[in-house]
Structure 1
Amino acid sequence: MPDTPQLQAQLAALEARFRQRLDDELDTLDDLSAQLQTDPSALQSLRDRLHKLAGSAGTFGYGELGSMARQLEQQAQARLDDATPDAATLASLSSAGAQLRPLLQRNEQSEAQPQQLDAGINDDDRHRRIGLLIEEDDLASQMAQTLDSFGYQVIHLASPEALQEAAPLDALIIDTSPPGSRLLGHPMFQQAASQLPPLLIISSLDTFASRLQAVRAGAVGFFTKPVDLTLLERRLERSFNNQQGGPFRVLIVDDDTELAARYQLVLSNAGIRVDAVSNPHLLLEKMRSFIPEVVLMDLNMPDYSGPELAQVIRLDDDWLRVPIVYLSAETNAERQMSALLKAGDDFITKPISDSTLLTTVYARAQRARMVSDALARDSLTGLLKHADIKEQLEVEVERAKRCHAPVSVAMIDIDHFKNVNDTYGHACGDNVIRALSNMLRQRLRKVDRLGRYGGEEFVAVLPGCSSKDATQLLESIREAFNALQFSYGGQQFHCSFSAGISACEDDEWAEEELLERADRALYQAKQSGRNRLCRNTGAAD
């Protein structure tokens, strides 16, 4: 999300609160410095205060003050590590507050400006626009019909020059078979290759040279004729690198409320959902309620260390896949490594710029989601596995009860699927399963959850959706799937599906009951002749 005057005003308010806190911090450092003359045990408290100040000052624009605090902190740490008296070090530390105050005044005179935010990730909700540069009319028509059934918007291109007028496109499909064999050599592709959308190539030649040409043109897919449109659509979907399944969720664990508030503001304005906890006793409760994809953990907090809290999190198998990123002013490589070996995944040294924070969090969250999805997804369809879709159903039912909102469940089964396998082979049957899964994924909403329940059976969880709304949505998908054309060995055929729908609309149903009612409704649909939907809501519709 781009920088805005509103965001800058919010950041300025946080910095004003931090500036007020600085006076108290420096007064405390003066008191601790004075205690050193008579009580050497005050050195640990002084070091801790300097460490915290070194980490937060630079983030709020007091870079010079933060650097000096870090130097004093390192002197204090060296004094703590070495029991040999060092009068010079003690003398320097006894004037810590006095050394920092002039830097504060100098900073205010230069009127430090808040950092500017980099642009975040823009989530585009429009339909995918697919450009077709195909001269063969029959192929272009068939492909347009198929892609339209999957929910894409198809743009026919008469020539490479039409690319500019059609922009922006989410993907581009080109037929390089004669007479289009010279298309990839067109200046439009040579000059703007880095600006082109994901490119898929269709060719009548299945040779190393043709595939190499496609790779050099930046293609993400290569298909030979006759084109398996189901496989092409699957590759097309995979090529979209912004299918994120909703905003990332980040939990901040830090006792410094102003610093945590700044991190939260920066990340939130980049489209990331953020929550924060300052009391470690509430950490596990927050983990269960918020279900973060990344945890930002302060390394040093009163009475607790970041590695200790990270290990508490790791005691639960449910959180083994969640990356924990330590935030600290610690610069000692050995201490950083020690922290990482204790349940951590990454380390960001304070002060942290907004761009560094965004880049690190986004990269970690993206990788965590990819790994989590890979482990939870069915290899054939890319949908959630049996256990994972049931878990998602439980989550959505609990959320629906809290919000007093409806949630619907649909059990979907491909009709006469055994006949497809027996007649056309299991490879063709797999294509039918992939086609339905792709169509469901394309036409359902981003908030919906979809899983392969087993074999040719699917489960869709539709939060905020009544049984009537769910029926209307699934009916449109059923009609589109009926129109989808499959081919095998020159033969063409169509498939259909039946579905049973149930809904939780009174805050009392459990997820098991929803599945059972949906299953009974599916049985009713099949007994009534298949290729239809039935509802079982437990109430009159």
Structure 2
Amino acid sequence: MADERALQEALQRQLALLSEQFAQRLEGEFQALGVLADSLLEGTGDASAHPQLQPLRDRLHKIAGSAGTFGFPRLGEAARRLERQAAQWLEHFDADPAALQAFADEVRGLHTERLPARATPPEGPLVARRLAQGQSYRIFILEDDRVVGRNMELTLRNFGYDARHYDRAETFREACLGEDPDALIVDVHLGDDAEDGLALTADIQAHMHQPVPLLVITSDNRFDTWLRAVRAGATGFFGKPVNLTDLENRLERTFVQQNGDPYRVMIVDDDLALAERYALVLRSSGMRVEVQARPAQVLEAMRAFLPEVLLLDVMMPGCSGPELAQIIRFHDDLLRIPIIYLSAETDIARQMDALLKAGDDFVTKPISDNALVATVFARAQRARLLSAALSRDGLTGLLRHADIKEQVTQEVLRSARGSKPASVVMIDIDHFKRVNDTYGHGVGDNVIRSLANLLRQRLRRADQLGRYGGEEFVAVLPDCAPAQARKVLDEIRLHFSQLEFIDQGRHFHVTLSAGVAAVRATDQPGETLERADRALYAAKRAGRDRIHIAPDEDTDPPAV
């Protein structure tokens, strides 16, 4: 808590400094506006005789969009009112000398709206909750059927979670309040227990330091039960008998959303001071942010940074936001990225026109820090889920066949440019057909999912992992020689062989085999995979449950 307060205090100091710098910049803006206002009175006739109107409108628009964000809401409102008048005259000039004089007087008087109306320091941004760090997430299960609860506990343990089953409401409550679970799985109807699962959970969450994700299981699939689950804060709802693979998929998505890599956000705005303020707020909420001021450089920057959300100003010199958005939409590889317009434009027709051309949302400046974080977070979260759904295997959450092959290609290209070792590993579950034939495909899916989770947990973040097909997996390990890769995979092999699976009271174990091949600069991508595949089948022929390295790539004997 002390660290969090210190971070918030540091953020407030940085935001206050940016507001002071904005206030200093306003002095120059007021002088420029005064000069334009004075020259406005010299023209006669239509708008063409008043060339000062366009630069006046542009400067007023910028102040209208930024003043409130920096703590000067009255100044922003006054500038917005004058901007609308200037825009109206640019479309249809009908001002008489008295109206021009009054307008010029208001422009020159903008400085009086500044200091007296200084806003209070902006509130701290909304910070996404971070789960407890550790190798395993702690999942508490409340299920009064001991057989069902025990089976769920064992399966989730095989999936890599620290799962704990409770069959009584009292012991479940004590565990939740005495420890810090990362998620709860609760049955709605607890049999003879006097307490309802949802009511019990709502009471427990109210007494916890911070609510945790809730998954509901029940045999009651009526709409009223769904509604009660939503009102209790459930993030998942599963009918009985529960598909444990689907349930674990939901758990994983929940944890990835909360504790995954920081969301990547790009801001494109010619007002660098305002863009940097937005960036500071978003970075303080754990996001990675890059700022671009030149539209011509945005495409190259997007491909290098790979943003998950693009915040785009509407009015920029040389290229408007909607024009840039249409250019971005020319490129299929950038279609997944949501575009949010940030502008002081309040005309609904113009907002709709911008969205229809290209764009996903329109946010009017000024915007509060919390609203900015919430808007960007929601869009980035949705974009990441969509991207994962399109590029990830549905059962395991790993890269699909084509995507992991592309990672092998990229690693071969990197190897050609450098001298660091790298390895590609082909992994296969032993006698998997026997598992499916004996226990059924649902149990087989649990075995596949368990290995996928184990590989994900034991390999490094830099490693790439994909489901190659069926029960086969491919891992790409940069900066890792074959001997080291074999050592890592052998530890995974041993751990996997110790997992206990259960189906209708029948307990069994499964093993894996793997082949390791070094990435060679002279390889074609397919050649690396072929050598790893040959090493895998050498391991199979040698008796399975072992790791082999492709011949001539390591002098050590193969692990047994």
Quick check: TM above 0.5?
A: yes
Matched residue, 1:534: 548
Aligned to 1:114, which of 115, 118, 121?
Answer: 121
Q: Is the 8 A contact 2:82 2:107 kept in 1?
A: no
Aligned to 1:312, which of 327, 346, 349?
Answer: 327
| d(CA) in 2 for partners of 1:372, 1:174 | 30
1:496, CA displacement in angstroms? 1.9
Q: Is the 8 A contact 2:496 2:511 kept in 1?
A: yes
Matched residue, 2:11: 7
Q: Is the 8 A contact 1:310 1:324 kept in 2?
A: yes
Matched residue, 1:364: 379
Matched residue, 2:24: 20
Matched, 1:160 2:153: no
Structure 1 unpaired stretches of 5+: none
| d(CA) in 1 for partners of 2:513, 2:440 | 22
Normalised by the length of structure 1, the TM-score is 0.85
Matched, 1:130 2:154: no
Q: Is the 8 A contact 1:410 1:499 kept in 2?
A: yes
- Choose 33-42 or 315-324, whichever is displaced more: 33-42
Aligned to 1:35, which of 39, 64, 68?
Answer: 39
The percent identity for this pair of structures is 49
The 1:5/1:141 distance shift into structure 2, 3 A limit, reads same
1:363, CA displacement in angstroms? 0.7
Matched, 1:455 2:470: yes
| d(CA) in 1 for partners of 2:443, 2:163 | 26
Task: Show the 5 A alignment for 1:132-531.
Answer: 132-133=141-142, 144-155=153-164, 159-173=171-185, 181-182=193-194, 184=196, 188-189=200-201, 191-192=203-204, 197-198=212-213, 220=236, 222=238, 233-234=248-249, 236-237=251-252, 240=255, 242=257, 245-392=260-407, 408-445=423-460, 448-462=463-477, 467=482, 470-487=485-502, 491-502=506-517, 515-531=529-545
Normalised by the length of structure 2, the TM-score is 0.82
| d(CA) in 1 for partners of 2:191, 2:62 | 68
Q: Is the 8 A contact 2:34 2:108 kept in 1?
A: yes
1:436, CA displacement in angstroms? 2.5
| d(CA) in 1 for partners of 2:146, 2:420 | 48
The 1:179/1:90 distance shift into structure 2, 3 A limit, reads closer
Q: Is the 8 A contact 2:226 2:237 kept in 1?
A: no
Matched residue, 2:46: none
Q: Which amino acid aligns with 1:279?
A: R
Q: Which amino acid aligns with 2:129?
A: N
Aligned to 2:66, which of 47, 56, 66?
Answer: 56
Q: Secondary structure at the match of 1:382?
A: coil
The 1:450/1:40 distance shift into structure 2, 3 A limit, reads same
Q: Which amino acid aligns with 2:87?
A: Q
| d(CA) in 1 for partners of 2:106, 2:19 | 23
| d(CA) in 2 for partners of 1:264, 1:201 | 38
1:503, CA displacement in angstroms? 5.6
1:300, CA displacement in angstroms? 0.8
Q: Secondary structure at the match of 1:482?
A: helix
Q: Secondary structure at the match of 1:41?
A: coil
Q: Secondary structure at the match of 1:53?
A: helix
| d(CA) in 2 for partners of 1:405, 1:290 | 24
- Please provide the CA RMSD for this pair: 3.8
1:7, CA displacement in angstroms? 1.6
| d(CA) in 2 for partners of 1:300, 1:114 | 27
Q: Which amino acid aligns with 1:325?
A: I
| d(CA) in 1 for partners of 2:313, 2:547 | 52
1:516, CA displacement in angstroms? 4.6
The 1:168/1:62 distance shift into structure 2, 3 A limit, reads same
Q: Is the 8 A contact 2:126 2:285 kept in 1?
A: yes
| d(CA) in 1 for partners of 2:473, 2:283 | 34
| d(CA) in 1 for partners of 2:286, 2:29 | 33
1:377-406 superposed Cα distances (whole Å, 9 cap, x missing partner): 223333322223344556677789999976
1:96, CA displacement in angstroms? 4.9
Matched residue, 1:66: 76
1:259-298 superposed Cα distances (whole Å, 9 cap, x missing partner): 1111111101100011111122211110110000000011
Matched, 1:87 2:91: no
| d(CA) in 1 for partners of 2:59, 2:281 | 25
Q: Which amino acid aligns with 2:351?
A: Q
Q: Is the 8 A contact 1:172 1:197 kept in 2?
A: yes
- Choose 293-302 or 234-243, whichever is displaced more: 234-243
| d(CA) in 2 for partners of 1:509, 1:92 | 76
| d(CA) in 2 for partners of 1:346, 1:247 | 21
| d(CA) in 2 for partners of 1:89, 1:337 | 31
